[in-house]
Amino acid sequence: MRVELLGPVKAYLDDDEPAGINGVRLRTLLSRLALEPGRPVSAETLIGDLWGEQAPSGATAALHTLVARLRRAIGGAAALELVAGGYRLPVRAQDVDACRFEELVARGRRELAAGAHREAAATLRAALDLWRGEALADVREAPFADRVATRLHDLRDAAAQDRIEAELHLGGYAEVLGDLATLAAHHPLSERLAGMRMRALAAAGRQSDALAVYAQIRGRLADELGVDPAPELEEIHLALLRGEMERPPAPGRAAPNRLPAQLTGFVGREPELARLAALLPAGRLVTVVGPGGSGKTRLALEAVARDPAHARGRVWFVPLAEVGAADPFLDAVLTALDDRPPETRRATSLDRVCELLGADDALLVLDNCEHLIEDAADLADQLLLRLPRLRILATSRRPLAITGETLCHLSPLDVPDDAAQAAQSAAVRLFAERAAQVQPGFTLDATTLETVVEICRRLDGLPLALELAAAKVRSMSLPQIAARLDDRFRLLTPGSRAAPQPRRTLLAVVERSWDLLDEQERTLARRLAGFPGGAELPELEAACADASLPAGEIVYVLGSLVEKSVVQEAGGRYRMLETVRAYALRDLLAAGAPPLTPGSAR
């Protein structure tokens, strides 16, 4: 039989079925016997502990009645024995959670004293996990219960502090700050708790908060007890002021890999990787900016996997593609950073994000920021101010536009002019590699090369579009794919079912970009779609201006379209990727308006 006392009193029979212990007096008898597992408890003691000074005149008979009822509930006379010296519950100490708790706490303290911090943390955590609520919660009116419950609660608080001490030695500062705050609220004069909080806060990059803890407890000790802090707490305070607080490394821990696993090879982008390798060590905020589907996420993952912070387990990845504007932004960020179950987390706050990232050198990836640009920019700005050793790599279709941001512009992959240059083209290599994955044996040869180059060129070397087109090789021939690119949004769907919803189809990717535009920007984008090869500013001012879009505004609207990666500018000429242009024409025709053509004027 098992008995649980660290919460409402419960008993479980040998088949782990719950026993029906109905009535407060019956649960009180069971709990009192369970506190002495395998040892007899005299009738006099039981009467005193059940009724106290209010024992009825027939207390002995009442006790016999309770014993009989308890025997029926837990399995007969063998489950509750009458022996010399009283009544005995024949269970082992390990079968009573309160006794098991005390055994584990004693073992954890021995391990902590011996410097076995990892073992101590695990043992003490197991002890604390036995609790289901307040000890003896539904029998607290019994004369013995309050004294026993108070002792168990005090032991729980001490065990929690010992567990935190062990975690601190292991480097788990961020994980214990919440528990420290809770314990400190219940024990505001505990110098040990104050010292541990100061050490943990300092390691989490919150030195001012650590100093505030010292000031608070110093004031409390003076006001309420008339004493100064103990020498041990003074030493922690001085170490803080001198910048000498150190966090010991977690011994024996493998550096965690928080990046999503990649199931396909990385192709090309050598110049961009070299640029990021040069920017990341020096720039605290680097944003990879490019059109949807250009491979920003994959490039960022490849770059941070090569950064020294990754080998130390100091890289975090926050995917934002599927976070909606109505979703709590910090909740989404914390979900990505904190691997604990949501129901065990404390309230979301910027402080908690800082705790998880810590004060050491760290690299945070904020992926797909464009639709949450203000939230992402605000978070990045605050984190960079509060964590001096943090670096952020963001990916977005538009810049975050905050102080200190360095941009790494990402264009589609280079497309060869003809088949002779195909061997050097990353776009062609990407298509061929992905096609071979869905159709083993696919190769670039005289029968396939020219059509592959055509497909790559018509898709502007856009990596996502190339991957979606290559996936069609399992059901279509290359000429069939090329012939259907005029209806690319119908052709290039669906992509990977595991991909975020906004990246499963080419149409979804372009729609995400279109949703970022205001009405003037959409108007100009639709009109620019009538210029297949692009146009210069004077031509666009002449052809696209009207009452809703004055000529003097066009240069500013063009600038915004360039910033949002919808339009490319080179040498004073503005053009769209063919895929974006196809979507703009589609939108224009859906509105019932004919496209502009070069040389036309409004």
Stretch among 212-221, 331-340, 425-434, 547-556 having the lowest mean pLDDT: 331-340
At position 437, the amino acid (one-letter code) is Q
Please say if the pLDDT value at position 244 is more than 70. yes
pLDDT digits (tens, 9 = 90+) for 75-95: 876 789 999 989 999 998 888
- Give the residue, 266 or 251, on which the prediction is more confident: 266
pLDDT digits (tens, 9 = 90+) for 160-207: 999 999 988 888 877 788 889 889 988 999 999 999 999 888 887 788
Please say if the pLDDT value at position 63 is more than 80. yes
Please say if the pLDDT value at position 544 is more than 60. yes
Q: What is the DSSP code string of 352-386?
A: HHHHHH-SS-EEEEEE--GGGHHHHHHHHHHHHHH
Is residue 595 within 8 A of residue 478, CB to CB? The reply is no
Please say if the pLDDT value at position 280 is more than 70. yes
pLDDT > 90 fraction of the chain, expressed in percent and rounded: 33
Q: Tell me the mean pLDDT in the region 203-220.
A: 89
Q: Tell me the mean pLDDT in the region 385-414.
A: 90
Q: Is 226 helix (H, G, I), strand (E, B) or coil?
A: coil
Which residue is listed with tokens 């070299």? 274
Stretch among 78-92, 303-317, 467-481, 496-510 having the lowest mean pLDDT: 496-510
Rounded Cα distance between 596 and 509, Å, is 25
Q: Tell me the mean pLDDT in the region 269-288.
A: 88
- Give the residue, 596 or 480, on which the prediction is more confident: 480
Spans of all domains in the chain: 1-170, 172-246, 270-277+298-398, 419-506, 517-590
What's the mean per-residue pLDDT of the chain? Answer: 85
Please say if the pLDDT value at position 344 is more than 50. no
Q: What is the pLDDT of residue 164?
A: 93
Domain 517-590 CATH (choose: 3.30.1330.60, 1.10.10.10, 3.90.1170.50, 3.30.70.141)? 1.10.10.10
Q: What is the pLDDT of residue 598?
A: 56
Please say if the pLDDT value at position 28 is more than 80. yes
Which residue is listed with tokens 């055509």? 454
Range 497-505, long-range pairs (CB < 8 A, 24+ positions)? 500/319, 500/321, 500/322, 500/368, 501/321, 501/322, 502/321, 502/322, 502/368, 503/293, 503/321, 503/464, 505/468
Query: If pLDDT is split at 50, 70 and 90, which confidence band does 494 have?
Result: low
Q: What is the pLDDT of residue 142?
A: 92
Q: How far is CA 335 from CA 174, 255, 346, 417, in A?
A: 15, 20, 12, 46
Going by C-alpha positions, the residue among 189, 202, 190 that lies closest to residue 236 is 202
Q: What is the pLDDT of residue 597?
A: 57
Superfamily of domain 172-246: Tetratricopeptide repeat domain (1.25.40.10)
Q: What is the pLDDT of residue 30?
A: 94
3 sits in which H/E element: strand 2-4
Going by C-alpha positions, the residue among 416, 411, 446 that lies closest to residue 428 is 416
Stretch among 25-29, 500-504, 530-534 having the lowest mean pLDDT: 500-504
Cα 79 from chain centroid (whole Å): 49
Peptide bond into 494 cis (omega under 30): yes
Rounded Cα distance between 434 and 421, Å, is 20
Query: If pLDDT is split at 50, 70 and 90, which confidence band does 135 have?
Result: very high
Q: What is the pLDDT of residue 579?
A: 85
- Give the residue, 99 or 534, on which the prediction is more confident: 99
Which residue is listed with tokens 């280079």? 414
Q: What is the pLDDT of residue 342?
A: 53
β-strand 362-367 against 315-319: which pairing, if any?
A: parallel
Is residue 132 within 8 A of residue 6, CB to CB? The reply is yes
Q: Tell me the mean pLDDT in the region 16-34.
A: 90
Q: What is the pLDDT of residue 500?
A: 56
Going by C-alpha positions, the residue among 298, 336, 345 that lies closest to residue 315 is 336
Q: Helix/strand/coil (H, E, C) string of 149-213?
A: HHHHHHHHHHHHHHHHHHHHHCCCHHHHHHHHHHHHHHCCCCHHHHHHHHHHHHHCCCHHHHHHH
Domain 270-277+298-398 CATH (choose: 1.10.10, 3.30.370, 2.60.40, 2.60.120)? 3.30.370
Rounded Cα distance between 458 and 454, Å, is 6
Domains 172-246 and 270-277+298-398 share a fold: no
Q: Which CATH class is domain 1-170?
A: mainly alpha
Q: Tell me the mean pLDDT in the region 40-56.
A: 90
> CA torsion sign, 347 to 351 to 354 to 355?
negative
Rounded Cα distance between 188 and 217, Å, is 7
> Per DSSP, what are the bridge partners of residue 479?
none
Is residue 371 within 8 A of residue 515, CB to CB? The reply is yes
Q: Tell me the mean pLDDT in the region 547-562.
A: 88
Q: What is the pLDDT of residue 218?
A: 94
Q: What is the pLDDT of residue 251?
A: 45
Q: Tell me the mean pLDDT in the region 255-269.
A: 78
